[in-house]
A = this chain, B = another copy of it.
Amino acid sequence: MTAVLAFMCMNIQAQSHNHSHGESGIVHSKGMASMDANAQFVPYEFERHAVGDNDILIEILYSGICHSDIHTVKGHWGTPNYPVVPGHEIVGRVTQVGKNVTKFKVGDYAGVGCLVNSCGVCEHCMKGEEQYCDNRKNVYTYNSYDHFHNGTNTLGGYANNIVVTERFGIKIPEGAPLDKVAPLLCAGITTYSPLRTANVKAGDKVAVAGFGGLGHVAVQYAVSFGADVTVFDITEVKRQSAMDMGATKYVNVNDAAQLEGLANSFDVILTTIPYNYDMEMYLRMLKVDGALIQAGMPPAGQYPSINTSLLSGRRKVYGTHIGGIPETQEMLDYSVAKGIYPMIEVIAPAQITEAYGKVEAGEVQFRYVIDMSKL
């Protein structure tokens, strides 16, 4: 009976909010864009596709700044389609739902991560691993060819709103701290997924290399799974934060003495470093049957090369790429239940340009989140 009432209620809401924003239903948006590779952000108005029957419209409240945003805007992975409106760590409130939508109702909080659509019918989509869509029809949240809307270029979350298929909306529990939740949509899933895939469990010796936006969330997950966690970074500045988050050891790789005695030490090494680095140094630290998982995404041409003689003893290396929607929901629910959140600094849209410089210099502890209400 309750379910029936809820369903009726949703339908009423869906109809009452399913008005278009113009004759065509086009959604008007405003955000912050970089017009070229100089990453100077300016206000930018644009249009999004109409809210379809399976879509939701989200009024964006917070949007995290991910290192991938910087790589994209600056053309590190190839020239993007300018203007670029980045942002794939999005939290907001649902303001409109299509007539077929059942997962959300108006007023719900919703998140959007790196993906906004995919074919939905291939083996990987059926498994909920849309990031590996076999038909390569997955649509990224920004700077991506939208297979389902005439090949338009997607624009991301540094904006006041976004339209997304309900399947790609993440439900955010009541009472969650919305600003801190935002970075979980990328930094959270990108580290949670590989740690789960590697079956990290109590007693495992885990290393996290790169203690930045991704790394500091990874440490919290690994600690929560009961692992004995060592952190690697290139500075002394972050030592205390790592220990506060439950790491048992912090290694400044610029101090050779701190690297001694670490050969054959780790079951899992998760690297989050977004530039080229000495992966071979880390491979030497793996135990037999250990795995090095690369979660960071360096610029094109800057991925580490390695000699495979270091992979004897079934020492594995592999790369991981974000995570699928069901696991993103699992990650978010787990994070809220365990109180695992990034350390953030909330900034206004006008500060994005400056923030990029600080992220590149490793000066943020640990994630900038843009308050989109200040747009």
Binds B, one of A205-213, A240-248, A300-308, A366-374: A300-308
Interface positions, chain A 274-322, Cβ under 8 Å from B, are: 279, 288, 291, 294, 300, 303-309, 311-321
A327–B118 alpha-carbon span in the complex (Å): 44
Q: Which residues from B are CB-within-8-Å of A300?
A: 309
A169-202 contacts to B (CB < 8 Å): 197
A308 x B317 contact (CB < 8 A): yes
A330 to B313, CA, bound (A): 20
Contacts A316-B317, A317-B316, A319-B313; is A304 near B294 (CB within 8 Å)?
no
Question: Judging by beta carbons under 8 Å apart, are B319 and A308 in contact?
Answer: yes
The answer to whether A317 touches B313 (Cβ under 8 A) is no
Give 1 or 0 for each of A239-281: 1 = CB within 8 Å of chain B CB: 0000000000000000000000000000000000000000100
Instruction: Note all chain B residues with C-beta closer than 8 A to A308.
Output: 279, 294, 303-306, 317, 319
A1 to B300, CA, bound (A): 72
Q: Is there contact, CB below 8 Å, between B313 and A132?
A: yes
A74 at interface, CB cutoff 8 A: no
* A132 B318 Cβ-Cβ under 8 A: no
Q: Which residues of B contact A129 (CB under 8 A)?
A: 288
CA separation between A315 and B304, bound complex, in Å?
15
User: Could you tell me the distance between the alpha carbons of A124 and B318 in the complex, rounded to whole angstroms?
Assistant: 24
Question: In whole angstroms, how far apart are the Cα atoms of A251 and B300 in the complex?
Answer: 31
Say which size band chain A's interface belongs to: 20 to 34
Contact B318 A311 (CB under 8 A): yes
Residues of B within 8 A of A314 (CB): 197, 318-320
Q: What's the nearest-Cβ distance from chain B to residue A124, in Å?
A: 7
Closest to A298 in B: B309
A313 surroundings in chain B (CB, below 8 A): 132, 319, 321
List the B residue with the shortest CB-CB distance to A286.
Answer: B318
* Distance of A157 Cα from B291 Cα, bound (Å): 36
Query: Looking across the interface, which residue of chain B has its beta carbon closest to that of A307?
Result: B305
- Which residues of chain B are near A291, meaning CB under 8 Å? 316
22 contacts between A and B (CB under 8 A): A124-B288, A129-B288, A132-B288, A132-B313, A197-B314, A303-B308, A303-B309, A305-B305, A305-B306, A305-B307, A305-B308, A306-B306, A306-B308, A311-B318, A311-B319, A313-B321, A315-B318, A315-B319, A316-B316, A316-B317, A316-B318, A317-B317
19 more A-B contacts (CB under 8 A) besides A291-B316, A313-B321? A124-B288, A132-B313, A197-B314, A294-B311, A300-B309, A303-B307, A303-B308, A303-B309, A304-B307, A304-B308, A305-B305, A305-B306, A306-B306, A308-B317, A311-B317, A314-B318, A316-B316, A316-B317, A317-B317
Which are the 3 A-B pairs with shortest beta-carbon distances? Answer: A303-B309, A312-B319, A316-B318
